[in-house]
């Protein structure tokens, strides 16, 4: 089978989130298998790929309360996140 790389393992982490931007994934721990981020908060989680902080006006994608985001194109780079309000956790699974 050609095409996408094969996944050999998965690493899970939980990152506390709030109204202050935090690094959800620092990037590149495993091979390029991709990321899944679950927002377990009751508010929108704004995610920003690449360098810089996430905000409600500068973000890559907005993940609904209790929603899931799957990275495109096997992206495993840096991801920052910030909640619209309150606190919660981003549940991260990195496939490698």
Secondary structure of residue 93 in the 3-state scheme:
strand
Is 30 exposed, middle or buried, given 0-12, 13-18 or 19+ CB atoms closer than 10 A? middle
pLDDT digits (tens, 9 = 90+) for 20-65: 999 999 986 555 678 999 999 999 999 999 999 999 999 999 999 9
Walk me through the domains of the chain, giving residue ranges and CATH numbers: 10-95 (2.60.120)
Separation in Å, CA 7 to CA 69, 88, 91, 96 = 18, 28, 19, 5
Instruction: Please tell me the pTM assigned to this model.
Output: 0.87
Question: What are φ and ψ of residue 37, in 5° steps?
Answer: -125, 125
Secondary structure of residue 56 in the 3-state scheme:
coil
């Amino acid at each position: 089978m050609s095409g996408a790389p094969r996944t050999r393992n998965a690493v899970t982490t939980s990152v506390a989130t709030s109204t202050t931007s935090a690094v959800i994934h620092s990037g590149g721990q495993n091979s390029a298998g991709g990321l899944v981020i679950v927002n377990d908060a009751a508010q929108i989680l704004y995610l920003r790929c690449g360098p810089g902080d996430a905000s409600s006006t500068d973000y890559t994608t907005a993940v609904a309360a209790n929603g899931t985001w799957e990275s495109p194109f096997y992206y495993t780079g840096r991801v920052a996140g910030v909640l619209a309000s309150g606190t919660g956790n981003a549940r991260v699974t990195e496939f490698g």
